[in-house]
């Protein structure tokens, strides 16, 4: 990830460094981040609650937007 603001925003939002969820080839590892959230907060998937729902409820809409940007930037590598 080249955007340093992502690193700052991620830490401010989630209290953990983004580097723990970055793969040198594919970028942001959403699976690893999902596992982290479940380990820290418990399994939130109840058949009705998605990770996006959980992140929005727990951290707010800006957190969801940040995750989407990280995913989009990661996917741009493959385009």
| pLDDT tens column, 24-54 | 888 999 999 999 999 999 888 787 889 999 9
Structural domain boundaries, residue 50 = 4-76
CA distance 18 to 21: 6
Quote the pLDDT of residue 63: 98
Q: Mean pLDDT of all residues in the chain?
A: 90
Q: How many domains does the chain have?
A: 1
Phi, psi of 26 (to 5 degrees): -100, -10
Contact, 76 vs 3, CB < 8 A?
A: no
- pTM greater than the 0.85 cutoff: yes
Is residue 38 exposed (0-12), middle (13-18) or buried (19+ Cβ within 10 Å)? middle
């Amino acid at each position: 990830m080249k955007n340093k603001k992502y690193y700052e925003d991620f830490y401010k939002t989630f209290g953990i460094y983004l580097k723990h969820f970055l793969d040198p080839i594919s970028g942001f590892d959403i699976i690893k981040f999902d596992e982290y959230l479940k380990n820290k907060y418990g399994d939130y998937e109840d058949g009705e609650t998605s990770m996006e729902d959980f992140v929005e409820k727990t951290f707010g809409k800006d957190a969801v937007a940040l995750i989407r940007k990280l995913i989009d930037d990661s996917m741009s590598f493959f385009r």
